[in-house]
Structure 1
């Protein structure tokens, strides 16, 4: 017998320990085997482990099956309020079947059906997300490369449960938490999509001299300039006066002071990297085929000598160039003509880079564009921070509202 640290007012009874096999009349596997021959372009949604994550059912990757195969699994159809749990891979992740997925067929999941008593499935769903339950599941997990749990082990799995009314109150509380997290995540994703769209529309493309979307009051063509008219190569070394606490990690544009430097002389091999300077990072990726430039917008510091650093030589708006110089649709043409491939990287050819041409608006238009995109980033950060705060609070409450 035990009680949680945090409870809703009016509940004082001890919680009971129960085996899941005593709560559910049926704990068993969904279809196990090859279902690929029965896949259909349109048909019945087939619930798989990829769709079950963090207590929820997602539709990120949907599989559909034909009528014949669906009907053959009628005795294993899932109904509203049933539970499923991932049995291979990210084991232990569970979800409750919502009303819109009543009569759903499933593949390679453990199914919890036919409760013998009144039980709130969403309560159990949140209990599985506690550290205690995760540890219990880890103890019955087998396999090295791919983890597995068995339906028979889940029948013996012990949970702590209060009376039904308290189960419902706790489940409702955490459901509201998830709705709030989803709301802010959706707003964050929407802001990211808007930013991506505006990055495409607020800069000229397809040999044009003006962008598709402009702020009122700006109508002049953007001016074509050589990058050598805008930036110069900087080889200014640290004279030893700048310590390692001003070391900047180019990949994340953050100060990183815990880098070990063998001698003071080695510290002097670092380049000075002032605010407004840009540095080339040659790692190729899906987002950046030929590497990328990043602008220092966090403050004066130093950077490893492996990076090519360039310093602005004209009036500019810091925020505008932060987005312009890192914009793949603008820079891909520039870098394809001024880099050479090496193992997993691209090396920048400085002379070729400085000869490339770039369309530039007036400083006033730069300021408007830079401010707009910066505000979008602030909005994204705000919603992401709120999401993270809610997730941390949810985690805290999960550890304190369950036994």
Structure 2
């Protein structure tokens, strides 16, 4: 951005007029919410916004509310279009955030500063300005307190903000970020819905303890499941546990750490590590094969993923490796079972360690795996693969859109 030219780095093509600076106190009225705390919340009643919502469920524009209270005579209600800023918070950075209350007749609880901007200022644009960039830094510097910090309406009134001279440009910027938030929210809702379906199916598609038939199973399959010990269906070994930092390289043979293993997938987005090829070849007996199931030994114990073509030939670092007997058990099915609460609870209960849990091999050997026929295993594995692919797709879109949003927030304001 250029402070001299008073224009942001990124701008919509149709706008050319320079931005200008104004003091918020000269262009807005201020008030405060009244009373109410979390202890006043009820299941049904009048809708209310408490200041904590701006931390736990932040939205630039609040269009609906899922918290309620029994209304009293001193309540302060929204008229629609005001901007609310928390009056207290845990840190200066956290407290400098603002939301627009789009609907009227919503109670505004205590510890909320309320801004009623003049017709010169678009409410959504103002909320964005307060929550990002230069104005956020200035407001954060005004926060008073130690364990709990406070922002007063007088601090907001003193705030100087840069904004487009043309109201239509303010509106265009506000609308742009509203659409981004709407897309992010749509993907988040689909992601959460699919994740809930997955959780429910993981609970219902495996027999409960003491039972031999699951609550839900695919059409065409019948008969009781059997239990087999993990050592009867897979070859088990541990990944390398030796010190190997001197063999780390920027490229070479991929090293899979416990932290890289997620539920039915791998995530190498954070500082992937590779091993010197000569060192890896010297430990060729630890190289992973297509279809191996890798389980977290330290940390989020029990979480597992299947080695695909992308990870084939890599080496695990202190991970538990199961190499399934393909005539008895399907790799995807085994990974799905490892990620159920049945197995995760078993892993947690037998784990040792004070800080980070350790799932020891001697305990892993005691694990029994519920087994349907191989064709039913394959159907279950395929189902959860498809479900995971959809969940991951929405997560990727959420991440992508959030990255776009953050980049634009840093470049579309002065």
Taking structure 1 as the reference length, what is the TM-score of the superposition?
0.80
Give the Å deviation of 1:160. 1.6
Contact 1:51 1:57 in 2 (8 A): no
Which range moved further: 348-357 or 40-49? Answer: 348-357
Select which of 110, 115, 120 maps to 2:113: 110
Kindly report which structure 2 residues correspond to 1:85-234, keeping only aligned pairs within 5 A, or say none: 85-89=85-89, 90-99=94-103, 101-113=104-116, 115-161=117-163, 162-234=165-237
| Pair 1:13 & 2:25 matched | no
- Report the equivalent of 2:27: 23
Distance 1:196 1:178 in 2: 26
| Pair 1:4 & 2:5 matched | no
| Pair 1:381 & 2:385 matched | no
Contact 1:251 1:281 in 2 (8 A): no
Contact 1:84 1:95 in 2 (8 A): yes
Which range moved further: 340-349 or 89-98? Answer: 340-349
Between the two proteins, the alignment pairs up a number of residues equal to 381
Distance 1:191 1:131 in 2: 35
Contact 1:319 1:371 in 2 (8 A): yes
Contact 1:47 1:106 in 2 (8 A): yes
Report the secondary structure of 1:128's partner residue: helix
Contact 2:61 2:101 in 1 (8 A): no
Give the Å deviation of 1:191. 1.4
Distance 1:398 1:86 in 2: 21
- Check 1:393–1:334 CA distance in 2 against 1; reply closer, same or farther (3 A cut): closer
Report the secondary structure of 1:246's partner residue: strand
Select which of 292, 308, 324 maps to 2:302: 292
- Report the equivalent of 1:359: 370
Give the Å deviation of 1:367. 1.9
- Check 1:234–1:48 CA distance in 2 against 1; reply closer, same or farther (3 A cut): same
Give the Å deviation of 1:105. 2.8
- Check 1:23–1:369 CA distance in 2 against 1; reply closer, same or farther (3 A cut): same
- Report the equivalent of 1:371: 382
- Check 1:10–1:302 CA distance in 2 against 1; reply closer, same or farther (3 A cut): closer
Q: Deviations over 1:133-173 (max 9, x none)?
A: 32222332334444432321110111122222222222222
| Pair 1:55 & 2:60 matched | yes
For structure 1, the 5+ residue unaligned runs are 285-290
Distance 2:63 2:287 in 1: 47
Report the secondary structure of 2:52's partner residue: helix
- After superposition, the CA RMSD in angstroms is 3.6
Q: Deviations over 1:296-316 (max 9, x none)?
A: 5233333344x5544434533
Contact 1:320 1:367 in 2 (8 A): yes
- Report the equivalent of 1:394: 405
Distance 1:292 1:37 in 2: 38
Distance 1:398 1:238 in 2: 44
Report the secondary structure of 1:160's partner residue: strand
